[in-house]
Amino acid sequence: MFSHLFRRLFHTLHPSRAQLFGVMSVLGGVTLAVMLISAPLMLHFESLHPEANVKNLGDALWLTFMIVTTVGFGDFYPVSLGGRLMAVPLAACGIGLFGTLAGYLGSMILDRVVRAATTDMLHEQNSRIETLVSQNRQMAVAIKQISEENSELNRAIVALAKQNSALNQKIDADTNEILELLQQQHKL
């Protein structure tokens, strides 16, 4: 059951094996070191108290493991002042170790979510860019057509301007001729 859960988690999060092994090794090593250092001290403090239920190193290891993992079954517990004072930093160490593990797993999950969101945003951005490129091409074709039509209109305007100029010259000539005729008739 747990192996399936861990395989699924590992497959989902895609951490590098070396990175995951490194984090687990450090956390496991620190936990083991804390327990191996604390168990003999816990045994020493508890063995001095007459009501102590920790009688041997195995009991002390079990007690330190329960304190570090913050499980605390209650079958063994410190009764001496030294044992109780030692339990406080052990529990804090356990909370810190599991907090570190939770933070590491949380950062992996967040990294995956951010990566997925970034990928989605990039796909969306690429889609927008492709749409803009397509619209740009369509506008370029429309601008070219308008430019060609504008060129044709300009040529037509130039031709009309020439015709207008010729007509204006003819009108001027006809007007001058009519004026001369009118002046001649008026003189007669």
d(CA 104, CA 18): 14
Q: Is this model's pTM higher than 0.85 or not?
A: no
Cα distance between the two ends of the chain: 131
Over residues 10-19, the mean pLDDT reads: 65
CA atoms within 13 A on the CB side of 5: 2
Instruction: Determine how many CB atoms are found less than 10 A away from the CB of residue 62.
Output: 17
- Measured over the CA atoms of residue 123, residue 127, residue 133 and residue 136, the dihedral's sign is negative
d(CA 44, CA 84): 12
Which residue's entry shows tokens 């859960």? 5
Which residue's entry shows tokens 């989902």? 12
Tell me the per-residue pLDDT of 126-153, one tens digit each, with 9 for 90 and over. Answer: 999 999 999 999 999 999 999 888 888 8
Report CA 9 to chain centroid distance, whole Å: 20
Residue 101 reports pLDDT greater than 60: yes
What pLDDT band is residue 22 in, cutting at 50, 70 and 90? confident
2-136 has CATH 3.40.50.11720 classification? no
Q: Given this model, what pLDDT does residue 125 score? A: 93
Over residues 38-44, the mean pLDDT reads: 93
- Mean of pLDDT over the chain: 86
Q: Classify burial at 91, counting beta carbons within 10 Å of its beta carbon; exposed 0-12, middle 13-18, buried 19 or more.
A: middle
Which of 53, 54, 27, 23 has its CA nearest to residue 38? 54
